Each structure stands twice: as structure tokens, then as C-alpha cells.
Amino acid sequence: MTLPFFPEDLFDDDREVLLDVVERIGRSPEQKFILGDHVARFEAEIRDSIGAADAIACGSGTSALLLVLRAMGVGPGDEVIVPAFGCAPLAAAPALLGATPVFADIDPWTMVVDPGAVARAVTPRTKVIMPAHLFSVMADMPALRRIAASTGVRLLEDSAVAQGGTLAGIPAGMWGDAGVYSFVQVKTFGMPGEGGMVVTGDPGLGEVVRMLRNHGQDGKTRFRYHRVGYNSRFDEIMAAFQLHRLPGFPRRLERRARIGEYYTGRFGELAGCGVLAPPPDRDGRCYYVYSLLCERRDELRGHLAKRGIGSHVYYRSPLPRQPAFEPFARPGDAWPVAELAARWALAIPIYPHLTDQQVEHIADAVCEFAKEP
């Protein structure tokens, strides 16, 4: 592949900085490797940049979801409404707490959860609505917030892929009672390691999450456990590295947005030829992954591969069709749109260091495929 879907050179520009950070923290007299000053500064920077009451760095995006659900008191007998199309942690986080993930179908164009399906899935046992932003489009948060408010259910925004995005002026992560980010390598603010963050406008919820991430301790008295917690702490070396990378993040996001907008402009005319691009708009976009819908998906994938262009299939099956989550599906439930997305979605490269020429080459290849007789 000359243009791999997952590029290996994401951190090349910052390799010296990474080595320097390892050296500096590794040799520092205090020998503090987790939850030190760098983590506190990193949390403060993110918190202030989005106007949150608290930001809590933790072990991963998955862990962030789990911590929030636990802090919200989710447990056996509770239902958590999640999209039928998405990644494992959406279903696993409620399930690991003994709650039931209830799967709602998605919108056929944007592929994010359909608010109508969410509203229909609410029962007296529903404790949390957990939409996820997917690929390049944010979920319909205004509608979901109205549903949560009118039913008295809490709203957890899985904004793992949408850090830096905004919808109607509100940053991704700030639409619900809490939001989460993920810093795993491939995400828009990824890093060379595992990490995540909980952001919230509710200081009380933040305080509980803060305790849960470090064995239920309050950060003042060591070995005093107020709650049954987890080990989901954050690394000082990674925090220092992310503090260095933070100022460049808006520029990299903007580059992603430009590439996405270029694609959407080029692909607008392909809708009648079996290749559907995401709806054109700047508001409520995050440009983590650029996903097309194509009936002849595997052929398109082969066509691109022959031209040296990597692509990726997210996700080959709806969540309730996965062996692990099938037991949670209720008889009679169906997710026809999620089934189609699983057959048709194909993601093409959108990382910020693609050159204009490479982006054009990728767009040309997709257009050529759609227009060939």
C-alpha cells in the first residue's frame, strides 16, 4: 500500500520530543509516573478548552465509559440505550456492570443513532441514553438531549472520536451529563499508548469518577477507599507528550476537515452511481474517519487496493449480531439500517499529513470506480 489506511508515521514529527519526555520524567528525582503534575495540567487544559467543570484522565476511552456509567449508578436491572452500529465498548460497558444494553437502529445516511429509535426504546428501566459520534458525523445531540430531559434519563455522550468537534456551538463531550475522549493511537488526538478522558459539567459526577479511577480513593488520604473502584489511571509520560501535541491539534483537525470537505464535494455526484458520501456540512462534524456507503463495497475496496490505497471496514456486523452481545437482543427487535451499514460502509484515508495530490488521487480512484460501466 502506498497510502495505507493506518499510517505508521503519525508521530514522526514528535519523535525527539517523545524521547526527551521519557528521559526527563525517567530521570526526574521524584520518579512520578502516574497521576502527577503533567496529568493535572493536561486535565486542566482540556477542561478549560471546552468549558467543562471537570476533566478526568483515565486508562482508555472504554474505561471512561465504564467509569461514568458506574458513577451514574448503573447496575443489574438497568437498561442503557446504545447504537446498534458501533464499537464493542458501547455494549460491553453496560454489560460489564450487569446492566442490559438496548440497541437502537441508526440513520441510513449519517449512520449515527436514530433519535426516533432511541425514543421508542425508552422503558421505565432505562437509566442512561448513550449515543456515539461515528466516523465524521456527530449524533443528533439536540434531539437526544430533549428525549433524555423529557424522560428523566441521564445522557452519556460517547465522544471518543469527536474531540475538537462542535455542534450548534457546543463542544463534543459537553452535550450530556458527561462525555468521553479516547487517545488511542488512531483517534484524532491519539498518542503512542492507551488513554482516555471523562469530561463533565457536573462537578459531583466528576468527583465520583475521579475516585473510581483510582481504587475509590479521594486523592487526599491514601489507602482510604470510599468506593469500590478501578485502576484506570493516566501516565505522566503520555500526559507530557499530549501537552506538547495539544497546540497543534486544531491545525491537524482543520486539515482533516478540509480533506473531508474536498471528498464530499467530489463525491456529491456519485450518489446516483452507488457511492454515497456523508452529508455536506461543517457543523456537527469530527472527521475522525471518512466513511462511504457503497453497495459494491468489497469491489470498491479491491479497486482502491489495486491503486495502492488502503481502506478499512468499520464494522462488519451490527453489535447485537456479535456473539458476545446477541444474548442482550430482545426477540422481535430488528436493526435493518445497521445491517445495511455493516454491508456497505467503507472508510478511506483522511489523516492530516496526506498531501493534496494524494487526496486527489484517492478521490479520483473512488470517482473512477463509481463511474465505470
Ligand X SMILES: *Cc1c(COP(=O)(O)O)cnc(C)c1O
Q: Does residue 314 contact residue 326 with C-beta atoms inside 8 Å?
A: no
Q: Which amino acid is at 164?
A: G
Helix, strand and coil content of the chain, in percent to the nearest 5, comes to: 40, 15, 40
Which range of residues in 155-163, 266-274, 301-309, 346-354 is near ligand X by CB under 6 A? 155-163
Mention every residue, 6+ apart, whose C-beta is less than 8 A from residue 142: 167, 168
Question: CB of residue 337 vs ligand X: minimum separation in angstroms?
Answer: 18
Question: CB of residue 221 vs ligand X: minimum separation in angstroms?
Answer: 30
Q: Which is nearer to ligand X, 214 or 370 (CB)?
A: 214
Q: Any contact of residue 311 with ligand X (CB under 6 A)?
A: no
Q: Which is nearer to ligand X, 89 or 320 (CB)?
A: 89
Q: How far apart are CA 107 and CA 246, in angstroms?
A: 33
Task: Specify the residue for cell string 452500529.
Answer: 85
Q: Which is nearer to ligand X, 63 or 359 (CB)?
A: 63
Q: Any contact of residue 61 with ligand X (CB under 6 A)?
A: yes
Q: Which one among 196, 278, 320, 349 touches ligand X, defined by CB under 6 A?
A: 196
Question: CB of residue 106 vs ligand X: minimum separation in angstroms?
Answer: 13
Q: Which one among 25, 50, 52, 60 touches ligand X, defined by CB under 6 A?
A: 60
Question: CB of residue 112 vs ligand X: minimum separation in angstroms?
Answer: 10
Q: Any contact of residue 182 with ligand X (CB under 6 A)?
A: yes
Q: Which is nearer to ligand X, 68 or 359 (CB)?
A: 68
E strand residue ranges, the chain: 54-58, 79-83, 100-104, 126-129, 154-157, 166-167, 170-171, 178-182, 196-200, 275-276, 290-294, 345-348
β-sheet bridge partners, residue 171: 166
State residue 174 phi and psi, 5-degree precision: -105, 10
Chain residue at closest Cβ approach to ligand X: 61
Q: Any contact of residue 161 with ligand X (CB under 6 A)?
A: yes
Which residue from 97, 40, 43 is spatially nearest to 67, judged by alpha carbons?
97
Task: Specify the residue for cell string 438531549.
Answer: 145
Side-chain half-sphere exposure of 156, counting CA atoms within 13 A: 32
Q: Which is nearer to ligand X, 79 or 194 (CB)?
A: 194
Q: Any contact of residue 157 with ligand X (CB under 6 A)?
A: no
Q: Does residue 304 contact residue 313 with C-beta atoms inside 8 Å?
A: no
Question: CB of residue 119 vs ligand X: minimum separation in angstroms?
Answer: 21
Question: CB of residue 368 vs ligand X: minimum separation in angstroms?
Answer: 30
Question: CB of residue 352 vs ligand X: minimum separation in angstroms?
Answer: 18
Question: CB of residue 7 vs ligand X: minimum separation in angstroms?
Answer: 17
Q: Which is nearer to ligand X, 89 or 260 (CB)?
A: 89
User: Within 72-91, which residues bind ligand X (CB under 6 A)?
Assistant: 86-87, 89
Q: Which amino acid is at 32?
A: K
Which range of residues in 17-25, 60-68, 264-272, 320-328 is near ligand X by CB under 6 A? 60-68
Q: Which amino acid is at 280?
A: P
Q: Does residue 187 contact residue 350 with C-beta atoms inside 8 Å?
A: no
Q: Which is nearer to ligand X, 113 or 276 (CB)?
A: 113
Cis peptide before 351 (omega within 30 of 0): no
Site residues, ligand X (CB under 6 A): 60-62, 86-87, 89, 132, 158, 160-161, 182, 184, 196
